[in-house]
Amino acid sequence: DTGVSQNPRHKITKRGQNVTFRCDPISEHNRLYWYRQTLGQGPEFLTYFQNEAQLEKSRLLSDRFSAERPKGSFSTLEIQRTEQGDSAMYLCASSKWTGDYLRDKTQYFGPGTRLLVL
Amino acid sequence: DAKTTQPPSMDCAEGRAANLPCNHSTISGNEYVYWYRQIHSQGPQYIIHGLKNNETNEMASLIITEDRKSSTLILPHATLRDTAVYYCIVSDSNYQLIWGAGTKLIIKP
C-alpha cells in the first residue's frame, strides 16, 4: 500500500499527558499537512511542511502543539499537557507541489489518529 | 471561513444518480474545485477536481458552470457504500484547502 499511513490509529490518554502521532506520506510527495477534525465538522488546517520546512501554522496550533518533519519524509505531531478539548481526529495529508500554482494540489489523506483525552 | 456552500443533507435511492450541488461564487480564476468524501470514522477520500472544464473519472463526474460560480458532483449509479459526507472545497489565497461542513448523503435501498 503506497498511501498515507498514520500511527497509532487510536490513542486514549489522561489529561496532562503528552502524546505523539506519526504520519508517513506518499513517498514522492514533498508537502505534508496536519488537520484536526471534531465530530460533525470538516477538517481544520493546523500546519504544513514543504520538505522539512514548516511553512505555515494555524492559530489553532497552540504552543502545546509541535510538529516536525526532520528529513522531509515522515512527520510527527506532539501534543504536550493534553486537555479534554484536544480530543479529536488528527488527520495527515500529503501532496506533490511543483511550484506551478496552476497545477493541481490534490491532497491525499491518511486514515487519521483518533485521540481521546480523559 | 469556507468559500463554498452546500446543503447539509441529501437522500438518494440506490441505483439512481446522486447530484450534489455546491456554490462557490467567490472563486477566483486560478482556483480549483475539489471534491472529497468521508465515510464514517475514516480519512477523507479524494474524488475529483476541476478548474473550468467538466471532468469525469471512475468515481464521479464534475460539472462546473461556465461562470465557475457553482458545480455539481454526479455519482452516476449510487450504491449503499456511497453513503458519506461529501465536501466541496476551493483553496484559499495560500492554496490551502478550507473545509466546510459538507453534505451528508444517504443512499437508501
* Mean of pLDDT over chain B: 91
From residue B91, give the alpha-carbon distance in Å to each of A91, B26, B32. 18, 11, 7
Q: What is the pLDDT of residue B96?
A: 75
From residue A52, give the alpha-carbon distance in Å to each of A31, A71, A75, B108. 9, 6, 9, 46
Strands B33-38 and A53-57: unpaired
Q: What is the pLDDT of residues B53-69, one digit of tens each?
A: 899 999 999 999 999 99
pLDDT for residue A7 is more than 60: yes
Q: What is the pLDDT of residue B60?
A: 97
Least confident of A9-23, A96-110, B48-62: A96-110
CA proximity to A45, closest of B88, B97, B32, B34:
B97
pLDDT for residue B16 is more than 70: yes
Is A39 near chain B, with CB under 8 Å? no
Q: Which residues contact A29 (CB under 8 A, 6 or more apart)?
A: A94, A95, A96, A108
Q: What is the pLDDT of residue B91?
A: 75
Chain A hits for B100, Cβ within 8 Å: 42
**Cβ–Cβ < 8 Å for B54, B61:** yes
Q: Do A109 and B34 touch (CB under 8 A)?
A: no
CA proximity to B10, closest of B89, B84, B80, B65:
B84
